[in-house]
């Protein structure tokens, strides 16, 4: 797959599976998904002020019979933790795609504490964590995650690692 062709394919996959609400705090790793949602007349593109809004947004979408996804950077995971008690307690389906920092080859030391804590804190809140480290991983992983979230009612996070996204240069 072309260098970032996976991102367009991922957007198409989400839409084909009925995801209509895209909540996000911007990150470079999500640029294509955000731009596609903004250009899509049949989707809601929802910029958030903090990531935990997206957890509650997804719950509200489910109450109304729609599917949402939360796009965020790894640092945003920390902003979501208590709000995930809504998801866990009420058994809301939940799907998030996390662009990683503080990961493979990271050059900014500020990113490591949260980046390295992403997996353990998500797991502590009952979220299933799936990783993508190459472009060939993205579509199979997202396909699995969509089934786990919206058919089995689980909370699922797809981590897009820095082997896939590239480490930001400073």
Partner 1 sequence: MARLNKIPMSNVPAATLDRRQAVPALLERHADFLIVAGLAGTAQELSALTHESPGVFGLGGAMGASLSMGLGLALAQPKRRVLIVTGDGELLMNVGALATIALQNPPNLKVVCVDNGHYGETGNQDSHTGLGVQLDVIARGSGFPVVHTINTDADIEEGRRLLRQETGLAFILLRVMEGPPNKVRRNLVPHVERDRFRAALLG
Task: Give me the residues that bind partner 1 (CB under 8 A), please.
Answer: 20-21, 44, 46-50, 52-66, 68, 82-83, 85-86, 89-92
Residue with smaller CB distance to partner 1, 10 or 84: 84
Enumerate the H helices of the chain as residue ranges. 5-16, 31-38, 51-63, 74-77, 84-90, 112-124, 135-150, 162-165
CA-to-CA distance for 12 and 87, rounded, in angstroms? 25
Residue with smaller CB distance to partner 1, 1 or 90: 90
Residue with smaller CB distance to partner 1, 17 or 162: 17
Query: Least separation, in Å, of the C-beta of 93 and partner 1?
Result: 10
Which residues, including other chains, have CB under 8 Å from residue 41's CB and lie 6 or more apart? none
Query: Least separation, in Å, of the C-beta of 16 and partner 1?
Result: 19
Residue with smaller CB distance to partner 1, 82 or 108: 82
Query: Least separation, in Å, of the C-beta of 79 and partner 1?
Result: 10
CA-to-CA distance for 56 and 50, rounded, in angstroms? 11
CA-to-CA distance for 25 and 97, rounded, in angstroms? 11
Query: Least separation, in Å, of the C-beta of 18 and partner 1?
Result: 12
Please give the structure tokens belonging to residue 152.
């089995």
């Amino acid at each position: 797959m072309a260098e970032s062709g996976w991102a367009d394919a991922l957007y198409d996959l989400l839409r084909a599976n009925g995801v209509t609400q895209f909540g996000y705090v911007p990150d470079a790793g999500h640029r294509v998904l955000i731009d596609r949602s903004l250009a899509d007349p049949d989707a809601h593109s929802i910029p958030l002020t903090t990531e935990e809004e997206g957890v509650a947004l997804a719950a509200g979408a489910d109450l109304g019979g729609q599917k949402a996804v939360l796009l965020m950077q790894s640092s945003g995971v920390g902003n979501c933790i208590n709000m995930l008690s809504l998801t866990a307690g009420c058994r809301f389906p939940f799907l998030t795609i996390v662009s990683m920092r503080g990961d493979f080859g990271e050059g900014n030391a500020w990113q490591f504490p949260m980046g390295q804590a992403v997996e353990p804190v998500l797991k502590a809140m009952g979220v299933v964590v799936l990783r993508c480290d190459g472009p060939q991983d993205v579509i199979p992983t997202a396909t699995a995650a969509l089934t786990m979230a919206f058919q089995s009612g689980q909370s699922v996070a797809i981590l897009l690692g820095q082997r896939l996204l590239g480490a930001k240069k400073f």
